[in-house]
Structure 1
Amino acid sequence: MPTLNDNLLKLENNYFFYQIEQTLKDFKIKNPNVEILNLGIGDTTLPIAKSIYLAIKEAAFELSDPNSIRGYGPSTGYDFLKEKIIDNDYKNLDIKKDEVFISHGIKYSISNIIDLFSSNNTVAICDPSYPVYVDSNKMAKRKIIYMPVLEKNNFQPQIPTEKSDIIYLCSPNNPTGVALNYETLKSFIDYAKKNKSLILFDGAYFSFIKDKNIPKSIYEIPNAKDVAVEMRSFSKNAGFTSLRLSYMVIPNNIKIEDTCLNDLWLKYINVKFGNLSYIIQKGAEAIYQDSGKKEIKETIDTYMANTHLIKKGLENLGYKVFGGINSPYVWVKTKGLSSFDTFTFLLNKAHIATLPGSGFGSVGEGFIRFSGFAKKDTILKALNNLKKL
């Protein structure tokens, strides 16, 4: 008789984002005539760029033609997309094609790469942070050390107080919306070099960084290619949340127990996964065309204008607000209520949906997250409702 993974059984019954989604559905059933003003949404609300649509359409047509039909593609992704990524996103950083792996989405990369490591590893994770970091390690019963991300430290994570084998970092951070500065990243690279640790760097929101003094890639820091894996997504900047595509960089320099991590990941994906969609990769390639770059910039500018609107509107209403400068997320201090009670209060009284900070970790208690991915008219209605409270 088979037995189950009891570590999986011990996880919370409802994944945080699913739980919020169900709460909003229940509210809508009870209040069918009420418009929910969703400012907690982490999903995109603008359509994909025309350049992407046309590239996908052309690629689909290719597959309908006997002269250009394609079968299985490379498990690491097509070179045409890797070359665009290197030339545009890693210019002058000396990243090689065999170090880039095209993936089904950043969640796929985050939750699967940890399988390369034994359950004996100690893992350091920021608190608050994206729940997948925690849950994917709880499944393997790894020891987790939490690195508090506090207001008094300007929401820059502090070096682990215990020796950690694997460290998760995200910049700009989700949910605080605050990007990690050069000094913070350098301190973690130095720590990893000294302690022979590995950094898993989530750069899903790198496209939203506007401050030229904030690194967009961890590889801008000396020695990072010896200790850091970087993951990035096309979901937020290019609207690929329904198309699903991302990429991960694993430098050949990284060795774990004399084994090249890049080689081990290649072995892993060849055993567990197949190739990725040619059509979707052609869509992603279009992001790097001149027309695609212009369209993507317009998309990002729209989301950041929405974020600025939320940030200023909340500040004018007397809320203490953080983030929202290099990220589409605004981290807001609650007024006397817990995170979840504030979420409930705003939903019931102002019909505004946010995300309670406590869902991202215990240190997130006392905060809620607002998102610039909401539409402008939704934001304006929400701010107007808040004024009436």
Structure 2
Amino acid sequence: MSRIFLSSPDVTDLEEQYLVDSIRSGWVAPLGPQVDAFEQEMADRVGAHHAVALNSGTAALHLVLVSWGVGPGDFVPTSTLTFAATANAITYTGATPVFVDSDLSTGNIDPVLLDEIIGKLKAEGKSVPAIVPVDLLGRCADYTAIAAVAAKHGVKVLSDSAESLGARSGDVLAGSFGDAAILSFNGNKIMTTSGGGMVLTADKDLADHVRFLSTQAREPAVHYEHKEIGYNYRLSNLLAGLGRAQLARLDDMIAKRRAHRQMYDDLFAGVPGVEIFQRQGDEHDNCWLTAIVVDSATAEWTTSELSAALAEDNIESRPLWKPMHLQPVFVDHPRSVTGTAEALFGTGLSLPSGSALGPVETTRITSAIQAFFERWS
């Protein structure tokens, strides 16, 4: 029985066509016309002035922070409920990530706690040059509240929109919020370039410096000349071709993920103690992953038990992100926590949501969950 993954790549003949065209063009190394076109098309899509395609979302986070001069002695507040890449990129610069807890209904960073921790750090004489809010599972963070906090404290905003391409918060599209934003095109994201990421910004100088650093910081000389430490972070022209095909299909892929969310909503309707995470107000989300939150006392079963039952049918599921402040590598880092992210980690479960899922796979998923209900009852 084949494995059903949370979010496997959704690839069609269109992607194959773009890849073949890229290979036949002779531009098989990093950079090239596909990269240029991909950057422009993505900038147009999200309403950003400048875009720089890189080989990962992590690289995008790292280079923005480096370009802003973030480094040792700096403290950078970020969401605790996120993937490690967010905190890792801050750490690469020598700065210290500061973990901020979540809003219960969305899992995104709590703006009140963010405001309080920045004020506390500054009162202690700490340098806080930037914040990195994260859009969780395809739901944009509260951009309006975060912008007010940033303006109050005079800090830059780097929006980690790795999971939210195609979503919006009011009139603001994911990828266009803040002084800069990043996207990820990892294999499990809403669209993929296999591996890849992008910086988007209205700041031309920032975009130029990120582009410069990403190609080993090579100076414009006939020989190899370097005045700064650079990085080998640029995106392959081949993978940019794949990204262009994926971007052309993005709206359709989002619609399929939204249909899967409705399937789960119908499936769990009336099940005591279970709710679809982020369901309320999700009309502007991209529904990258659909998750449930389970009150085990009411449901009389746990997410671990459902996950184990799905695993028996070779169906992947996964708890929500383990909060960064609980990770052994970051256990001694500063934080402002209330227990919300920890509670979501303990009660939340992400379910298969990819746009590549077809009727055969969704039937297997629903049958497995219904069989679990029957066994448990």
How many Å apart are 1:342 and its aligned residue?
4.0
2:173 maps to which of 213, 216, 224: 216
Distance in 1 between the 2:153 and 2:251 partners?
40
Amino acid at match of 1:104: N
Structure 1's unaligned 5+ residue stretches are: 1-34, 64-69, 254-259
Distance between the aligned counterparts of 2:100 and 2:293, measured in 1?
A: 20
Which residue, 102, 117, 120 being the options, matches 1:162? 117
Choose from 255, 258, 262 the match for 1:304: 258
C-alpha separation in 2, matches of 1:262 and 1:296: 24
Q: Equivalent residue for 1:131?
A: 84
Say if 1:121 and 1:378 are closer, same or farther in 2 by CA, change over 3 A. Answer: farther
Counterpart residue number, 2:347 = 367
What residue is the counterpart of 2:228 in the other structure? none
- How far residue 381 of structure 1 moved from its aligned partner, in angstroms, is 2.6
User: Within the alignment, does 1:248 sit opposite 2:236 as a pair?
Assistant: no
State the percentage of identical aligned residues: 9
Distance 2:271 2:182 in 1: 37
Matched, 1:377 2:332: no
Q: Deviations over 1:193-221 (max 9, x none)?
A: 33231212122344453x783632364x6
Q: What letter is aligned with 2:265?
A: K
1:102 to 2:63 alignment: no
Q: Aligned residue for 2:331?
A: none
Q: 1:321 aligned to 2:276?
A: yes
Deviation at 1:323, TM superposition (A): 1.7
Q: Distance in 1 between matches of 2:270 and 2:367?
A: 15
- CA displacement 1:148-192 (0-9 Å, x = unmatched): 213268856224212243211223x13xx5433xxx312322322
What is the CA distance between 1:74 and its match in structure 2? 4.2
Could you say if the C-alpha distance between residues 76 and 355 of structure 1 is closer, same or farther in structure 2, counting changes exceeding 3 Å? Answer: farther
Alignment of 1:254-265 (within 5 A): 261-265=206-210
- Residue 53 of structure 1: CA displacement? 1.4
Matched, 1:61 2:24: yes
Distance in 2, Cα, partners of 1:349 & 1:283: 36
Deviation at 1:380, TM superposition (A): 1.2
State whether residues 124 and 144 of structure 1, in contact with CA within 8 Å, keep that contact through their aligned partners in structure 2: yes
Matched, 1:89 2:46: yes
Q: Is the 8 A contact 1:75 1:274 kept in 2?
A: no
Helix, strand or coil at the partner of 1:151: coil
CA, structure 1 residues 77+195, in 2 after alignment: closer, same or farther (shift >3 Å)? Answer: farther
Q: Could you say if the C-alpha distance between residues 364 and 141 of structure 1 is closer, same or farther in structure 2, counting changes exceeding 3 Å?
A: farther
1:320 aligns to what SS in structure 2? Answer: strand
C-alpha deviation, 1:379, in angstroms: 2.3
* Separation (CA, whole Å) in 1 of partners of 2:268 and 2:94: 40
1:308/1:119 CA distance change after superposition, 3 Å: farther
Decide whether the 8 Å contact of 2:292 with 2:348 is kept in 1: yes
Deviation for aligned residue 1:122: 1.0
Amino acid at match of 1:129: T
1:195–1:121 Cα change, 3 Å = same
State the one-letter code of the partner of 1:125.
T
Other-structure match for 1:144? 97
Structure 1 residue 312 displacement after superposition: 3.0
Partners of 1:114 and 1:201 in 2: how far apart? 11
Change (3 A) 1:308 1:266: same
- SS of corresponding position for 1:298: helix
Contact kept, 8 Å, 1:346 with 1:353, in 2: the verdict is: no
Q: What letter corresponds to residue 255 of structure 2 in structure 1?
A: D
The alignment's C-alpha RMSD in Å is: 3.4
Equivalent residue number for residue 203 of structure 1 = 161
**CA–CA distance in 2 between the matches of 1:130 and 1:353?**
18
Does the Cα contact within 8 Å between 1:56 and 1:283 map onto a contact in 2? yes
- The aligned amino acid for 2:22 is A
**Cα distance change of structure 1 residues 356 and 133 upon mapping to structure 2, 3 Å threshold:** same
1:331-363 CA-to-partner distances (Å, cap 9, x unmatched) read: 4323348xxx94542343453643223624452
Please name the residue that 1:189 is paired with: 147
Distance 1:321 1:284, change over 3 A: closer
Any conservation in 2 of the 1:311–1:321 contact (CA below 8 Å)? yes
Tell me the secondary structure at the aligned position of residue 162 of structure 1: helix
Distance 1:317 1:382 in 2: 15
Name the residue aligned to 2:244: 285
For 2:275, give the aligned amino acid. Answer: K
Q: Distance in 2 between matches of 1:103 and 1:300?
A: 23
Q: Which amino acid aligns with 2:191?
A: A
